[in-house]
């Protein structure tokens, strides 16, 4: 009958977490950036301009998604290192949610101020981008942080 040794910490957990965060950053950044670029460039007189905004927004969103998720990874690891044994896994999940949401809200607000000619378009840009980011964070945070183990509520290796 096989005996199971005590679980040893995974030395690659941080890299696996980084890979997952970067993959989510590329995918979500592309979608959110494309949305913001397409809406910002759209005009009733020339709706074809939104295709250019969509393309540029997608590329810039992917780059900014990578940068945001790299910062998120560094802050999650810092929160993990500074964590006391009595605290819960909420600190890592909180950082993983707060950084992307803050970045998307701030950048979409800035782009809306520059590109939007009406208040309605600004609301659509900021509200739509922040909503897409919130959905992404809600769906991907636990999966992205799961390689770090039970410290952040994950633990499975898929």
Q: pLDDT tens-digit profile of 7-39?
A: 666 778 889 999 999 999 999 999 999 999 999
The pTM assigned to this predicted structure is: 0.82
Residue 37 near residue 56 (C-beta atoms within 8 A): yes
- What's the pLDDT at 156? 46
Kindly list the domain boundaries of the chain, sorted by start residue: 13-41+48-152
Higher per-residue confidence, 38 vs 118: 38
- What's the pLDDT at 119? 84
| % of the chain with per-residue pLDDT over 90 | 51
Q: How confident is the model at residue 80 (pLDDT cuts 50, 70, 90)?
A: confident
SS3 state of residue 86: coil
Task: Quickly count: other Cβ atoms within 10 Å of residue 102's Cβ.
Answer: 13
What is the dihedral angle through the alpha carbons of 26, 27, 28, 31, rounded to the nearest 10 degrees? 110
Q: How confident is the model at residue 5 (pLDDT cuts 50, 70, 90)?
A: low
- What's the pLDDT at 154? 44
């Amino acid at each position: 009958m096989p005996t199971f040794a005590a679980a040893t910490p995974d030395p690659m957990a941080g890299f696996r977490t980084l890979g997952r965060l970067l993959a989510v950053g590329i995918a979500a950044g592309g979608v959110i950036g494309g949305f913001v670029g397409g809406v910002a460039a759209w005009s009733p007189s020339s709706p074809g301009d939104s295709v250019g905004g969509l393309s540029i927004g997608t590329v810039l969103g992917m780059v900014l998604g990578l940068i945001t998720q790299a910062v998120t990874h560094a802050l999650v690891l810092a929160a993990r290192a500074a964590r006391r044994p009595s605290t819960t896994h909420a600190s890592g999940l909180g950082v993983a949610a707060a950084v992307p949401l803050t970045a998307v809200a701030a950048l979409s607000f800035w782009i809306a101020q520059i590109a939007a000619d009406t208040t309605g378009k600004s609301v659509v840009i900021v509200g739509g981008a922040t909503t897409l980011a919130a959905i992404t964070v809600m769906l991907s945070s636990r999966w992205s942080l799961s390689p770090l183990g039970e410290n952040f509520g994950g633990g499975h290796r898929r």
